[in-house]
Amino acid sequence: MSSACGSVTDAYFEELFSHSSDPWSMRQRWYEQRKRDLTLAALLLPRYGRGFEAGCANGELSLRLAARCDDLLCCDTSATAVELASQRLQQVPHARVQQARLPEQWPSGEFDLIVISELGYYLDPQDLHRLIGKARAALSQDGILLACHWRHPIAECPQNGDQVHACLHERLHLEPVLRHEEADFLLEVWGTLATSVAAREGLLGSAS
């Protein structure tokens, strides 16, 4: 665990974006492109009604998620990130981006899909617990939550990805639907109704 204490401040993210519009090289790195592909492939349904992406950065994943949602809300604590993501999604009328500090400014209403990608380790344990509680309460009856996090230590962060996912397992009180584990990241999905994709399409008990 990092020696950092407390959740990472807004100033940290603004500093990152002041030097680059793509501080994590999400557009260039094959690692990031492949991870986005795996994230989209992990979604259980071809399309969702209302989706929420917590911590959207410059909107690279947001653009892909918008193609799978009838309505998509994205947020980031960085004003610069919100501006960049809004530009990325300007041709997508059913997607919108707002500035919000989570967990304090969690949006109202229910969501069929909640995506928490590369966000949890920036929060201290208390804030992470609050975030998980708000996410669980906001899931619709048949909603899913997808989380994906880098597993290696980050000096500025109070937690690592493994700790974040352990906390999700402990506090979500949902059935795990999918777990993809690599040396570099964890990608997991939880559902309020843990129905398999095959069961949804009536394939169980029939010849494939």
Q: What are phi and psi of 152, to 5 degrees?
A: -80, 155
Could you tell me what percent of the chain has a pLDDT over 90? 79
Residue 1 pLDDT exceeds 50: no
Residue 153 pLDDT exceeds 80: yes
Q: Give whole-number Cα distances, 195 to 45, 177, 184, 188, 199, in Å.
A: 11, 8, 28, 15, 6
pLDDT-wise least confident of 1-5, 26-30, 38-42: 1-5
The mean pLDDT of 154-177, rounded to a whole number, is: 95
What class, spelled out in words, does domain 10-200 have in CATH?
alpha beta
pLDDT in tens, 76-110: 999 999 999 999 999 999 999 999 999 999 999 99
Q: Which residue has the higher pLDDT, 17 or 67?
A: 67
- The torsion angle over the Cα atoms of residues 138, 144, 145 and 150, rounded to 10 degrees, is -170
The pTM (predicted TM-score) of the whole model is 0.93
Question: Does a cis peptide bond (omega within 30 degrees of 0) precede residue 158?
Answer: no
> 121 and 157 in contact (C-beta within 8 Å)?
yes
Q: Which helix (H) or strand (E) holds 140?
A: strand 139-150
pLDDT for 113 = 98
Mean pLDDT estimate for the chain: 92
Residue 3 pLDDT exceeds 60: no
pLDDT-wise least confident of 107-111, 134-138, 174-178: 174-178
pLDDT for 4 = 57
Query: Per the structure block, which two tokens stand in for 142?
Result: 């048949």
